[in-house]
Every structure is written in C-alpha cells, then in structure tokens.
Structure 1
Amino acid sequence: MRIIHTSDWHLGQNFMGKSRAKEHEAFLRWLVQIAEEQKVQAIIVAGDVFDTATPPSYAREMYNRFVVELNRIQVDLIILAGNHDSVAVLDESKSLLNCLNARVFSTLDSQEVVTLTDAEGNASALLCPIPFIRPRDVMLSKSGQEMLEKQSELQQGISEHYQRMYQKAEDKRKAIGEALPIIMTGHLTTVGAMTSDSVRDIYIGTLDAFPAAAFPPADYIALGHIHRSQKVAGTEHIRYSGSPIPLSFDETNRQKHVLLVEFLDGALHQVSPLDVPLFQCLQTVRGSLTSLPQAVKLACESFRPIEEVSSTLWLAIEVESDDYISDLQTPIQEMTAELPVEVLWIKRVRDVKQQPMQMQENETLAELSVLEVFERRLAQEAIDEDVEKELIELYQQVSTQVEESL
C-alpha cells in the first residue's frame, strides 16, 4: 500500500498582490504525474486546500480539474478541511466528487473509518479522517472556568476524539480479520513543531499545541497546518508534509516535499520525502543602500526563469539603516529597473543587538506589525519579564480567536 501525504495547498493565495495560480497549476500537474509514476493508491490532503473561506473561481476550477485527473489514473483522494477552509465550500461539491473517488471530510459530524483499497480492490489500510477541530466540536463552554481548566478540557476532548476514532478502526480491523495499518489525520499544531511566517497560529480555544503523546498508537498520522515538512517529537510515523510551495519569504531556502508513505505486512514500512520542484523563485536580500545593488545583482545571476510559470525573481529587500529614510522606493526602483525582478516587499531594519525594545526615534507604525506595537508598549511598563511573556502569549491567543470568529 502506497499513499502520498500532502497539505496546505492554499489554492487562491494572493501573495503581496501576486497570484500563485501558475505555481499551483504546475504543482498539481506534477502531483498527478508523480502519483502515477509511484503507483500510489491514494492521496491525503491534510487541510487548507484553499487559502480563504471564499476562494476565487479559478482556484475552485483548479481543484475540480485535479480531482478529475486523479480519477483518470484511478487514485483515491481524501480531502480534510483545515482552518482556512470553508465547510460550505468543501461540502458544496462533496456528493459529486464522491462519484470521482474523492471523499471530503469537513466536520466531525459524521466521522467514519474509511477502508482504502489497492489496485485490485482489496482492503489495504484503514483511515480515520479527522479535519481541523474547533473547540465547539469537542467541548461545551462553561462560565467561570480558569484558562488552565479550559486548556485541560480542550486537550482531553481532542484526545478522546482521536481515541474513539482509533477504537472504531481497531473494531473494523478485527471485523475484517486482516492486519491492516491504521492511518489518522489532523490539522493542528503539535508541541515542538517549527512554524514559519506564513502559518497563522492556531490557538484552539486556549490550547496552543497538542502533545504528540496524546495521539493513539496509529501506524501513521498525517498532519497539516505547519508549512515546514518535519517529524513530530522525533517519530517516524507522525509527520507534517509541509506546504508544496513557499508561502512566505522565510520558507524560500527550504526544500518543499510531499511524503510517499509505504506500508508492508500491515505496518509502516518507510516514509520518503519527494522533492517538489520550485515553480517560482523568491529571495530575501539584505544590505545597506550602498551594498544592495551588488547583492541584488548577485541574486539575479543565480536566478533561472521557469518556462511557462515564472520569468521574474520575487524579492524581499531589507534595508539596513538606523536612520529614518523618507523614500525607500526610489533608490530600490533605480537599482532593479533593468533586472528580471519584482520587488514585493521593502523594509528598513536595524541591528537588534544595539537597539532597545522601546520605540526608536523616527520609527513609523507602518514598519511595525500589530504584535510589535504591543510589545513596544509593554516594554515601557515596569513589569516582570515572566508576566510580560504571559501577556504577549495571551494577546496572541485573543488575536487569533478574534480572527477566526470573523
């Protein structure tokens, strides 16, 4: 039994004013090709198929076309909802896609154990398809609860749901009478996972990370939400596949993967990262206004256009200066005018080792994130460092809850 584990496609993403449509089209074509070459039986997408709850029409068309292509080569598709996905959008074509061997799981309302089959139609694995879990899915709101109580109850609710699903899979395996591997999915942050700038932290209620030890002893757990491909807690069988394309500039120096997961004799045999080709080059260049022209030139010398996908290098430019510069656009435009680049982001940066936390002279709000403004304001108060850290964590949790409720 062979499956491909992928996640966090974010179809329809608008990246600093630039569409990722060509990159996503190229990735989905490549994924169909690699699925056929590797003779896989199924592809699992562990959440965040789309970038927003209202994806543009071209993104939905791309998604539907991919389903048709997979059906053509007789590969099953399992779609799990992520925190970016709209339940209504995923469910609107659910019945139709089911006729094309694509099954969509958007909520916990109807949690079934899916039997995956091989090319001959024989049962090869049991899948517990668990999408993004919201607090209301596994716990009741109670007045007067302390934060630690809520966190404990939520963690217990999520853990109990995973245990129930695993027990269902074990019962089904006994009924079938064969040593079938059990696969589980999830879309959440686990303890110790390495995130990137493009990941919007999920604070599920008050739970910022789910402990790996709370997962049942499934043969493989396919996770989504974290954009960096990685093992969880050093295990082979609990994995994030990561996003297939760089979704922020801090992801540009990391090879992107999908994971080829192989089972043999009813157990996990091996997990092999398959390198996803780079379809759009992104790069960060940093230096003073004096050194930047040479740095940008060097970046362009290493750039190779990608036929039918990308003809320009997307740049983020960090200008090192302790002085306020009223116009950064003009010198940047002049140094890149004749080069095959598009500058998507410009920021003035300082030597953080020499700069205090307080707001610097001539520093503008446009250069700071909302969190940075909050941190600078806290730094002006005479409070304990541990209390300051707790306040920042609480601010992040509240901010995320507000965003998810909009």
Structure 2
Amino acid sequence: MKILHTSDWHLGQSFFTKSRKEEHQAFINWLLELVDRQQIDAVIIAGDVFDTGTPPSYAREMYNQFVVDLQQLNCVLVVLGGNHDSVSTLNESKQILACLNTFVVASTGVSVEEQVFVIPDKTGQPSAILCAVPFIRARDVLQSSSGETGLEKRQALGEAIQQHYQTLYQVAITKKQQSGLDLPIIATGHLTALGVSQSESVRDIYIGSLDGFAADGFPPADYIALGHIHRPQIVAKSEHIRYCGSPIPLSFDELNTQKQVVLVEFNAAQQRTITPVDVPIFQPMQVLKGGLPALSQALQSFKQDQAGLPCWLCIEVETQDYLSDLQQRIQTLTEGLNVEVLQLRRTRNPQRQSLTQIQSETLAELTPHDVFEKRLSMERFEGDAEQARRQRIKQQFEQILSRAEHQGEDV
C-alpha cells in the first residue's frame, strides 16, 4: 500500500498580485507523473486545497481536472477541508466526486462513519483505515459555557479535539478487528501542533482560543498526515507524525526550505517506510539583502540569465538613512534584467524592525497573545523585582483579555 501525503495547495492564490496558476498546474502535472511512476494507491490532501472560500473559476477547474486525471490512474483521492477552504464549496461536488474514487471530508460536522473508512489499493482490496480529520472548528466539537475564562476555553477546545481523535480511532480499531486483516490505521489533521516552525504565510487558525495542539493528544495511529504548516517537518521527534508542507513557496521566507511530498509505504501494519520526495521549483524566486552597492553587485548575476521565467525578487535594503527615492533606485538597478521585484523592504535596527513587522501583519495572522508577547519582548526586565513586575503585567493582560472575550460573546 503506497500513500502520498500532500497539503496546503492554496489553489487560486494571488501572490503580490501575481497568479500562481502556472506553478500549480506544473506541480499537478509533476504529481500525476509521480503517482503513475510509483504506482501510488492513494493521495491525501490534508487541507487548504484552495486559498480562499471563494476560489476563482480556474482554480476550481484545475481541482476538478486533477480528480479526473487521478481517477484514470486508478488512484484513490482523499480531500480534507482546511481553515482556508469553504465547507460548502468542497461539499458541493462531494457526491459526484465519490463516483470518481474520491473521498471528501470538508468538516467534522458529519457522521463518524463518514470520517472513518477503508482505503482500497489498486486491486480494490482493503489496505488501510483512515481517520479523516479536517480542520476542526470549535463549534463542531465544543459547546461554549458562560463564565469560562480564556484559559479554560483553550483547555476545553484542546480536550475536545483530543476526544474527537480518540473517538475516531476507536471506531477504526473496531473496523480493523471486524475485517480480520492487519490494516494500518492512518489519521489526518489540519492544525498547529506545538513546537513546529511556521512561516509568514501561515495564519493562526485558533485565534484567541488554542495556540497549538499537544502531540500527545494524537492517537497511536501508524501514520499521521498533517496540514496547515507550510514547512515540512517531523512533530515531537516522532517520525510517523509529519507535516509535508506546501508544494510551492507561499511566502518568500519559505525559500530556504526544500518543498516536498511524503511517500508512505505499508506492508501490512508492521512495516512502514516514510520517504520525503522533493518537489521541483516551478517559478524562480529569490531574496536579496544588503546595502545598495551589494545589491547592485548581486543583481549583476541576472544579466547572464535572460532566458526562461523572470525571477520574482524580495529585496531588503539595509540602510540607516531614509531614502525617499528608494523605489526608483531599485527600479534603475533592475532595468533590463529578467526579474520582477514583488516586495521591497527596508531593514532597520531590531527594535524598529519588530515594530514595523507588527504593523504590517494583519489581525488574521496574529493572536492577541502574539501582539502582547512581541511588545513585551521589547522591554528589559532585569533582576528579581523586574521579573516579578513582568509576571504581574502578564497576569493583568490575561484578565483583560478574558473579560474582552466574554464581552464579545455577549454581543
């Protein structure tokens, strides 16, 4: 049994006004070739198929065509809803796609039987049991109680998510026993596990509720395929709990990480092989940093590269002076080169840079705790007395935040 784990496609993304259509199509073509060459039995997309709840028509067409092309390769497709996905958008074609070897689980607001099912191999024989967990919305697993503090709400949500996993896992165990076969049990998820490394394009999906889910809350499945974090990584030093990451860079700070999908091969439940497969680069992108002289020298290398796609650039200019004509200077330096400057930044001293970063981030990307911690990190607390004052400030913040959350619920 061969399973390919991928996630966070974000079809329809607009990147600094640039469409990612060609990149996504190139990735899909590459993925189909990989499925055919490796004789993959099932592909799992662990959330965020689309970038928004109302994706452009070309993104929907691309998604539908992928389903058709994958079905022709006799490969099962499992699509999980992510925090960017619209439940109704994914569900609108669910019944039709079921006729094309495709399972769609857009939310946890369906029966348990629809979230735990057997995946067949290419011969149609049962080969794995999947606990299909998409992005979990609090309203689907938890009833809010009046009088709860912010901390109590976060704890209740974490416990509810853990209980949901355990419920599905017990159903999977029953199905395995009833089958009489040594089938591996696979679980999925679209959330932030504690201790992972995020990137600029990842938004906190439990704003004001849950900062991260503890890895010990996952069930003892044979493999756990996670989505939402765009950098591929292992969770809690457990080889079988993984984020595969996004297949293309969704922000410039992801360029230092090799994009990948994960191939998981089972020989019954006992033997498991996990192999990351590197995804090619379909659109040249670079980050250039330095003063204007250094940037001018770095840009010279593009004079020799006039063929192919233009390279998308993020340029960070290190300067102590405010240059009102900075954009014109960069435009002059890049004139005639096969590049497009999508992002231009000024690098200042760490304190001012931190303030600028806070100002440039949106509320969708920050929790109240993030803003508070960023501001607190700019202050000095030296000595026991100052540390005690820091603790009092944090306690006062928690109290204010808790009252604000209660007031928000009463509105």
TM-score, normalising length from structure 1? 0.88
Q: CA RMSD in A?
A: 3.0
User: Matches of residues 7-406 of structure 1 in structure 2 within 5 Å?
Assistant: 7-108=7-108, 109-112=110-113, 113-203=116-206, 206-298=209-301, 300=302, 311-352=309-350, 355=351, 368-369=360-361, 384-386=389-391
Distance in 2 of aligned mates of 1:322 and 1:241 = 40
Contact 2:347 2:353 (C-alpha < 8 Å) held by counterparts: no
Q: 1:274 to 1:357 in 2, by over 3 A?
A: closer
Partner SS, residue 239 of structure 2: coil
Partner SS, residue 237 of structure 1: strand
Q: Displacement of 1:265 after TM fit?
A: 2.5
Contact 1:358 1:377 (C-alpha < 8 Å) held by counterparts: no
Distance in 2 of aligned mates of 1:366 and 1:209 = 21
Deviation beyond 3 Å, 4+ runs, structure 1: 301-306, 355-359, 364-399
Gaps of 5+ in 2: 405-411
> What does residue 407 of structure 2 align with?
none
Distance in 2 of aligned mates of 1:131 and 1:177 = 28
Q: 1:157 to 1:381 in 2, by over 3 A?
A: same
Distance in 2 of aligned mates of 1:38 and 1:304 = 36
Counterpart residue identity of residue 144, structure 2: S
Q: 1:302 to 1:243 in 2, by over 3 A?
A: farther
Q: Displacement of 1:327 after TM fit?
A: 2.3
Q: Displacement of 1:147 after TM fit?
A: 1.8
Q: 1:302 to 1:389 in 2, by over 3 A?
A: farther
Q: Displacement of 1:393 after TM fit?
A: 9.6
Percent of matched pairs sharing the same residue: 52
Q: 1:152 to 1:239 in 2, by over 3 A?
A: same
Q: Displacement of 1:351 after TM fit?
A: 3.4
Partner SS, residue 50 of structure 2: coil
| Matched residue count | 388
| Residues 69-111 of structure 1 deviation map (CA, whole Å, 9 limit, x = unaligned) | 0011110100000000000110111111111111110111223
Distance in 1 of aligned mates of 2:272 and 2:181 = 17
Contact 1:115 1:124 (C-alpha < 8 Å) held by counterparts: yes
Counterpart residue identity of residue 157, structure 2: L
| Residues 285-327 of structure 1 deviation map (CA, whole Å, 9 limit, x = unaligned) | 01112221112223x2686855xxxx10000011111222222
Counterpart residue identity of residue 136, structure 1: R
Q: Displacement of 1:267 after TM fit?
A: 3.1
Q: Is the helix fraction higher in 1 or 2?
A: 2
TM-score, normalising length from structure 2? 0.87
Distance in 2 of aligned mates of 1:88 and 1:395 = 36
Q: 1:377 to 1:40 in 2, by over 3 A?
A: closer
